[in-house]
Chain A
Amino acid sequence: MRSPSILATNPRLWGARAGRYLRSWGYMIHLGAVALVMAFTPSTWNRANRLSTSRYIYASTWQVLPWFTVLTALIGLVVIRIVLVTARSYGLSSFALEMLVRVLVLELIPLSAAMFAALRSSMAFDAAALGLARSGLPTAAAGAEAVRELRRDLVPQVLANAFAVLSLAMTSGAIVLLLAYLNVYGLSPWGLTEYTRTVARIFDPIVTIGFALKTILFGLAVALVPIAAILELQRYPRRLASSVQPGALRLLFVLLLIEAGSLAIKYI
């Protein structure tokens, strides 16, 4: 069983635990680097890998995209209405659109897309691998099998998950931008110039690059953290008994770290 907290262990073991913790992070970063290098190597893209990637993209994006978009559109519509009505009642409607775009498109939608993709695909994959690891096979054999499967699917999985986050965020962002326009200006095309100026004011080069980087990092985190956790699990079979989804907490932590970093760079 994993100890609940570093504070609960003997202080003499703190150093060892910190070292293991750092090694774990290092392994994750190394795996990410390997996956990226493999993704940019032409020989990786043989027929089997292409098919595998397609399958993952289908599972992580195609199946999810329609109703995720509908869901975010509905929630976005509610938020847009609330913000607009409140802003109008205070006479601040000129700031409402900018606030909506900044809050919804730049922050909330990428974060929720990342969470969604993580729950939908990465964790599901982890669960499959865990199931294999917990099957009747001897621990070593199950571990080896799981690692083999993961290695085979590593690059397709990473790419598919990153793509899923990007697609979900971009599509929902575009839909919410459209909804915001319709809510503020109605069906009239005459607000387009002003709307375009607002969008231009928000998406200055730093914000645009930050938005793109954040979405890509979200995608990589969602793709990498759970896989790294499950691969690492094979090396420490004792942890299999843990009821906590491997990598879930770390993924949450990484996502929050990226979000906080992005906010700090943009607004501080």
Chain B
Amino acid sequence: MTTTDQSPDQPAHVEAKAAILLVLMGALIVAFVLYVMYARGVFEPTQRLFLETDNSEGVAPGMDLTFAGFPIGRVSQVELSTDGKVRILIDVPSKDAKWLRMSSVFTLERSLVGETRLRAYSGVLTDPPLPAGSVRTVLRGDVSEQIPRMVASARELLENLVNITSPGSHVDATLANVDTITGRMAGRYGLLGGALGGDVEAKKMLETLDRVNALIARADQRVFGKHGVVDDSQDAIRQLNGLLKDARTTLQKVDSVLVEAQGVAANARTATSDLAPLRGEVEASLRKVNRLVDEINRKWPFAHDTEIKLP
């Protein structure tokens, strides 16, 4: 407060005003620091996620990890692991961790213009949630890495195109041929001239056709005309009919011969049936002879030979 040592031109309440300023500035600085700390997630519980990739280009601490366009995490550190891979350490606030599932896929996309983007895709939100401290591999989609390959392919394509369209190339020759053919087609004999290679050939072709026509007319005369091939054939068919009639008569005669042969065969069967009683009679006579011989043997004591000698 102003006191006795205050000079006459001293403004009023200078100490109070200075104190107000000091307090206000102090409050402003503290508020700003607290706001920045809040913004950087110092007061928020987080869980750690490790992403692995082979190239950390474009990844910087403070970068966002987005899910469906919403930032759900922040890169806190990028380091090189012992096996030479890049480890990206990400802090995901606990309230946003529900968007990360076991089946989540992480991508790192670099575009030609603009910053690198780190994205998470969770297709199945019913999967179990991603536990804290998980390690996942990042899929890289780098447009600029594909440019050299694309340029090489484009150059190859252009070279091929140049080869195709250059004078003396196949396409050029084909087009020249097409031009020749269409030029011929425009001639007197049209398509025929184009197909055969010129008017002279087309003319020959037409002459040939005329000759073929004349030939067909003559053939018609020979085949279907008077005393033609068809007439001769009809005569031949008639003669064939006569021959067939003769053949039929001959067959009838053969039939009668066969009937007679059947009669002979029947007689032979009757004779065969008479043979059985005859055979019985012979067998009975033989048995009688046998008995007679046995009887003579009994009565003939000197004879030891019991063999019966049939007559």
A residues in contact (CB < 8 Å) with B: 47-48, 50-51, 53-55, 57-58, 61-62, 65, 95, 163, 166-167, 170-171, 174, 196-197, 199-201, 203-204, 208
Interchain CB contact under 8 A, B25 and A62: no
Q: For B260, what are the chain A residues with a Cβ–Cβ distance below 8 Å? A: none
Interchain CB contact under 8 A, B10 and A199: no
Q: For A203, what are the chain B residues with a Cβ–Cβ distance below 8 Å? A: 36, 39-40
Q: For A57, what are the chain B residues with a Cβ–Cβ distance below 8 Å? A: 17-18, 21-22
Tell me the smallest distance from the CB of A152 to a CB of chain B, in Å: 13
Interchain CB contact under 8 A, A62 and B36: no
In the complex, the chain A residue whose C-beta lies closest to that of B38 is A196
Interchain CB contact under 8 A, A208 and B18: no
**Interface bits B19-45 vs A (CB < 8 Å: 1, else 0):** 101100100110010011011110000
The list of the 6 closest CB pairs from A to B, nearest first, reads A200-B39, A54-B18, A57-B18, A54-B15, A196-B39, A200-B40
Interchain CB contact under 8 A, B41 and A200: yes
Interchain CB contact under 8 A, B18 and A58: yes
B10, B28, B40, B61: the one contacting A55 at CB < 8 Å is B10
Q: Decide yes or no: A50 and B71 within 8 Å by CB, A163-B25, A199-B39, A204-B62 being known contacts.
A: no
Interface flag for B311 (CB, 8 Å): no
Interchain CB contact under 8 A, A201 and B62: yes
Tell me the smallest distance from the CB of B116 to a CB of chain A, in Å: 13
Q: For B11, what are the chain A residues with a Cβ–Cβ distance below 8 Å? A: 58
Interchain CB contact under 8 A, A61 and B21: yes
Interchain CB contact under 8 A, B14 and A51: yes
Interchain CB contact under 8 A, B28 and A170: yes
Chain B residues touching A, range: 20 to 34
**Interface bits B114-130 vs A (CB < 8 Å: 1, else 0):** 10000000000000000
Label chain A's interface by main secondary structure.
Answer: helix
Interchain CB contact under 8 A, A166 and B15: no
Tell me the smallest distance from the CB of B240 to a CB of chain A, in Å: 100
Tell me the smallest distance from the CB of A136 to a CB of chain B, in Å: 23
Interface flag for B64 (CB, 8 Å): yes
Given A54-B17, A55-B14, list of 5 further CB < 8 A pairs? A51-B14, A51-B15, A170-B28, A171-B25, A199-B36
Which residues of chain B from 241 to 294 have a CB within 8 Å of any chain A CB? none
Interface flag for B5 (CB, 8 Å): yes
Interchain CB contact under 8 A, A50 and B15: yes
Return 15 A-B CB contacts under 8 Å, by A number. A51-B5, A58-B14, A62-B17, A65-B21, A163-B25, A167-B21, A170-B28, A170-B29, A171-B25, A197-B71, A199-B39, A203-B36, A204-B61, A204-B62, A208-B36
CA distance A37 to B17 in the complex (A): 26
Interchain CB contact under 8 A, A174 and B32: yes
CA distance A166 to B10 in the complex (A): 24
Interchain CB contact under 8 A, B15 and A62: no
Interchain CB contact under 8 A, B32 and A170: yes
Which residues of chain B from 89 to 136 have a CB within 8 Å of any chain A CB? 114
Interchain CB contact under 8 A, A48 and B5: yes
In the complex, the chain B residue whose C-beta lies closest to that of A65 is B21
CA distance A50 to B61 in the complex (A): 45
CA distance A50 to B19 in the complex (A): 11
Interchain CB contact under 8 A, B64 and A197: yes
Tell me the smallest distance from the CB of A207 to a CB of chain B, in Å: 10
